[in-house]
Amino acid sequence: MLITLVEAVDLALARALREDENVVVLGEDVGRNGGVFRATVGLREQFGPRRVLDTPLAENLIAGISVGMAAQGLRPVAEIQFFGFIYAALEHLISHAARLRNRTRGRLTCPLTVRVPFGGGIHAPEHHSESTEALLAHIPGLKVVAVSSPRTAYGLLLAAIRDPDPVIVLEPERLYRSVKEEVTDNGEALPLGRCLTWREGRDVTLVSWGAMVQDCLNAAAELERGGISCEVIDVASLRPLDMATILDSVAATGRCVIVHEACRSGGFGAEIAARIAESGLELIAPLRRVAAPDVIVPYLKLEPLYLPDTADVIAAVRAVMEDA
């Protein structure tokens, strides 16, 4: 069926709730209202209020309850309405969810999934447009994935829910309804810890995740008309990170542009760039990064000036081609 990313999330959640009676969905307005982005529409009606729970407006409470549920054999899927609201939940996610397996020497695990809309592009206030995924990817014990399309939303969310350890699933807000794709509700998950190669190319490797993958694909299509062939790598899993796929691609093309909408300084692209440098690969041209400036996401009409876009990716690729 041809569906949007937000519909793919809803489809995956319904599949998980049907498959496993221990799966529980919780969060602010996820039940009666179907979530702020309507990603949980109809689930409460199908599975009842004991499995699709509305919570108070308290992210610390949502995270704490979810850790307790997971430690006692449930598989909670918690929604944090926006990435900018997750900071209150970090105490439980970092100090407890991420450490439970190690703390108990494997006697307890924490099969917790946290869904978080992230990134800009919907002209919302600053706390609704955060892209600080590097904070989470820095934490041992947490797995972090970023979806980039309806198919990856369906497959990665199912994988996260079935995983025995805590997984943060980042869903790009501006792609919720802007992209449609054929998705089959067959229950097949995508593997965690693997990059996805969406387009093969010979001249430049584009490495990205989340919403910017679509910009990279658009840029690659435009550049192909001018004779520049781009390979597009969707990181998909920030932790664990599949560097083998990235390094194989960069070794073949000799050029690399890393693209993310988070601020440039300390962004996760810097980690990927460092690992490429440590690998000793001899590049034809210096690696480049496309990222947002080091400022807080501006409001409304200024947001397009802040967010990287397809034109920025094209400019970076042309620059690395000229650097050779």
Sheet of 256-263: strand order equals 196-199, 230-234, 204-208, 256-263, 288-292
Pair of tokens at residue 75: 């598989």
Sign (positive or negative) of CA dihedral 161, 162, 167, 173: negative
The distance of Cα 105 from the centroid of its chain, to the nearest Å, equals 29
Angle at 311 between CA 309 and CA 313, to 5 degrees: 75
Examine residue 191 and say whether the peptide bond preceding it is cis (omega within 30 degrees of 0).
no
- The answer for 35, left when phi > 0, alpha when psi is -120 to 50, beta otherwise, is left
CB 44 within 8 A of CB 52: yes
pTM, full prediction: 0.97
Rounded to whole angstroms, how far apart are CA atoms 70 and 25?
A: 12
Residues of the chain with CATH 3.40.50.920: 196-323
Rounded to whole angstroms, how far apart are CA atoms 115 and 174?
A: 15
Could you say which DSSP state residue 165 is in?
S
Bridge partners of 89, per DSSP, are: none
The distance of Cα 112 from the centroid of its chain, to the nearest Å, equals 16
What CATH number is given for 2-182 in this structure?
3.40.50.970
Q: Which fold has domain 196-323?
A: Rossmann fold (3.40.50)
Tell me, yes or no, if 92 is annotated catalytic.
Answer: no
Catalytic residue among 92, 128, 138, 260: 128
Three-state secondary-structure class, residue 298: coil
Rounded to whole angstroms, how far apart are CA atoms 252 and 204?
A: 9
Residues of the chain with CATH 3.40.50.970: 2-182
pLDDT in tens, the chain (324 residues): 999 999 999 999 999 999 999 999 999 999 999 999 999 999 999 999 999 999 999 999 999 999 999 999 999 999 999 999 999 999 999 999 999 999 999 999 999 999 999 999 998 887 889 999 999 999 999 999 999 999 999 999 999 999 999 999 999 999 999 999 999 999 999 999 999 999 999 999 999 999 999 999 999 999 999 999 999 999 999 999 999 999 999 999 999 999 999 999 999 999 999 999 999 999 999 999 999 999 999 988 889 999 999 999 999 999 999 986
